[in-house]
Structure 1
Amino acid sequence: MSAVGSSPGVERHGTPHIVSARKARAALHDRRVALRRVVTIARHQRGPSAGVCQRRECSTVGGTTVRRPVRQGSPVKRAAIVGAALEAFLQEGFARTSVDTIATKAGVSKRTIYDYYLDKEQLFLSVIQEAGATQSAEFADLLDRTLGQVHDLEAALLAFGREFAHTVVRCPERSAIRRLMIAEAVHFPELLDGRRPVEPAHRALAARLARLGEQGLLDVPDPIVAAEHLGVLVASVLSERSLFGAAPLGEGEIEKVVVDGVKAFLRAYRTKPDTP
């Protein structure tokens, strides 16, 4: 007889216990492997600082909601990171830019970038947001210079149109940021939030046109629409022709577009004299 046959007690009682123990150890091992896999994936998705409990705050600037940096830290370091990130994103686009590259350009550690901005996506949105805020402030200054105190309506609109046109065509960084936003808008719908329903610069121009309407110089039933028309006539035409700043345009061509655009705008919106 076999050994098993001569030891019925082991066959009936010992073997099932051994099998059950082995199954329990195997199940425990599988659970530990699965747990390690989940932790690894979570750390990969959230960055090196995932093990630290951190508060994520949100802010809304220009209509765009972006989480604030995880840690405020040094303003000098944040400025260096934003500057380096903007340069890298404009050169290589979002997908081809690595956090290692940004860290090297900024002279900070990769961990610092994750501590300040959580991940590359939030850094990208923060960079675009800061660039937009800077452009909005510059546009407000432009409006103050050209449409602040208006005595000659046509001359003031021509001054605005010329300066704005050169900002659109002759500012490489502004044009590059606009091209980057167009390229990444499909992947970052948040980029469109600040432009819905109207972007800040558009609202600021509309407010100036409304003031000219109150002075009796313009007839603007809807200042938002009037601002859109003026922007299209003196800037969008040049953006299209220059492929958003990628192709050079001559001064003569820029001047003609601005003059023709302002004249068309005035034909539509200048206050008509009362006829007896």
Structure 2
Amino acid sequence: MTQVAPAAGAGRRGPSPDKTARTRRAIVAAALDVFLERGFSDARMIDVATRAGVAKGTLYLYFRDKEALFEGVLREMMADLVGALSPQGPAPGEPLRAFLRRVALPAFRGLEESRRAGLIRLVVTEGGRFPDVAAAYRRVVVDPVTGAIRRLAQEAVARGELSSDALVRFPLLLAAPGLTATIWNGLYGAEEPLDTGAVVEAFLDWVLPEVPPSDGR
């Protein structure tokens, strides 16, 4: 009986899930450095591969092009910020103001240190020239965050915490102070830096003042 020789490469196993995850993390970290140093337009895939310590072909196994790589960086870097609002909500009996101070403020306070602010500024400066960059940011950050804010605002209106439906109609109002501070720091931060967390906290205190407990009279 004639035996069939095994095909070349038969029995070989690919990289382990742990190694795959480590390689992906290394690529994303390298891409973050390159994007923030050179901007999207001047970033090159070969430079990312070199910094990550992988072959260029390996990089393309994880991300098909530079646009997909940028979206991968966004998903990795913005996960905490997006996850702070969605899909969770206030604890039972927790007012919207207390929830946002507990959950959203830490995310905003860490914008500069985590370098997420640099990514936001990159989108602002280059998104107009590269529609895929703007579309990725909207898909990964803007739509989930505004959707969560709208839902939270609707619930707060229903509970009687908000007398206006402005946040339901314009959920970006809640993100505006953080975005303004991020842009300011990109332009003037060297001379007059703004504490993004403090700006957002002041805004929350302004639009969502704490309601004093009733004295029963």
Q: TM-score, normalised by structure 2?
A: 0.65
Greater RCO structure (CA 8 Å; 6+ sep): 2
| Structure number having the greater helix percentage | 1
In our comparison, the structure showing a higher alpha carbon Rg is 1
1:82 and 1:127 in contact (8 A); partners too? yes
* Structure 1 residues 206-263: Cα deviation after superposition (integer angstroms, max 9, x where no partner): 211221122221134354335322333x424423432379446366x964x4465234
Q: Structure 2: how far apart are the matches of 1:211 and 1:222?
A: 13
Change (3 A) 1:104 1:139: farther
- Cα 1:114–1:86 shift into 2, 3 Å: same
Q: Which runs of 5+ in 2 are unaligned?
A: 1-18, 212-217
Deviation at 1:182, TM superposition (A): 2.0
- Counterpart CA distance in 2 for 1:92 and 1:186 is 17
RMSD: 3.6
Q: Which amino acid aligns with 1:238?
A: A
Which residue identity lines up with residue 173 of structure 1 in the other structure?
R
Give the alignment partner of residue 191 of structure 1, picking from 133, 144, 151.
133
In structure 1, give the amino acid aligned to 2:118.
A
Aligned equivalent of 1:167, options 110, 114, 121: 110
* Aligned equivalent of 1:211: 155
Mapped partners of 2:197, 2:25: distance in 1:
35
When residues 139 and 161 of structure 1 are mapped into structure 2, their CA distance, relative to the original with a 3 A threshold, is closer
Counterpart of 2:66 in structure 1: which amino acid? K
**% identity of equivalent residues:** 26
How far apart are 1:160 and its partner, in Å?
Answer: 5.7
Unaligned runs of 5+ in 1: 1-72, 271-276
Residue of 83, 91, 98 corresponding to 2:37: 91
**Quick check: 2:153–2:167 contact (8 Å CA) kept in 1?**
yes
Give distance in 1, aligned partners of 2:187 and 2:144.
20
What CA distance in whole angstroms lies between the structure 2 residues aligned with 1:118 and 1:153?
41
Q: Indicate whether 1:241 and 2:187 are aligned.
A: no
Within 1, Cα distance between the matches of 2:67 and 2:96? 45
Deviations 1:183-206 (A, max 9, x none): 32133212333537x521121122
Contact residue 127 and residue 134 of structure 2 kept, 8 A: yes
After superposition, the C-alpha distances for 1:148-204 in whole angstroms (9 at most, x for unaligned) are 445456555555674354234x434111111122232133212333537x5211211
Give the drift of 1:74. Answer: 2.9
After superposition, residues 146-157 of structure 1 pair within 5 angstroms as 147-151=90-94, 155-156=98-99
TM normalised by structure 1 equals 0.54
Letter of the 1:105 partner, please give it. Answer: R
